[in-house]
Amino acid sequence: GNSVTQMEGPVTLSEEAFLTINCTYTATGYPSLFWYVQYPGEGLQLLLKATKADDKGSNKGFEATYRKETTSFHLEKGSVQVSDSAVYFCALYQAGTALIFGKGTTLSVSS
């Protein structure tokens, strides 16, 4: 069945450091891919998405490129801020199913 695997956390960085959170998926066909973010005490919210191979989703300085050849959708940001501290979830969608979430990666950024 379909699945999403993301890197174990927590990830601890200093402000202005480069961020990468790895995400790989298993699916038949051509799923849509998402990154959601959960700030402390809140629900998840969509950060970015890509619906076909080679698409790049971007938002708030975060980027992720849909790589079908490596079945990956890694999240990157060039310079993180303390306010980016949150839990990040990679997710996959195919028609006829519900969203499949990864286990989440906790990011902690210190000043």
Footprint of other proteins on this chain (CB under 8 A)?
32, 34, 42-46, 49, 51, 89, 93, 95, 98-99, 101, 103-104
Smallest gap, in angstroms, from Cβ of residue 32 to other proteins?
A: 4
Backbone angles phi, psi at 83, to 5 degrees: -70, -10
Q: For 2-105, where are the alpha helices, taking DSSP H only?
A: none
Which residue number, 40 or 111, has a Cβ lying nearer to other proteins? Answer: 40
Which residue number, 44 or 109, has a Cβ lying nearer to other proteins? Answer: 44
Smallest gap, in angstroms, from Cβ of residue 75 to other proteins?
A: 17
DSSP string, 77-103: ESS--GGG-EEEEEEEE-TTS--EE--
Which residue number, 42 or 69, has a Cβ lying nearer to other proteins? Answer: 42
Smallest gap, in angstroms, from Cβ of residue 41 to other proteins?
A: 8
The angle subtended at Cα 110 by Cα 60 and Cα 72, nearest 5°, is: 50
Minimal CA–CA distance to 77: which of 33, 20, 37?
Answer: 20
Which residue number, 49 or 74, has a Cβ lying nearer to other proteins? Answer: 49
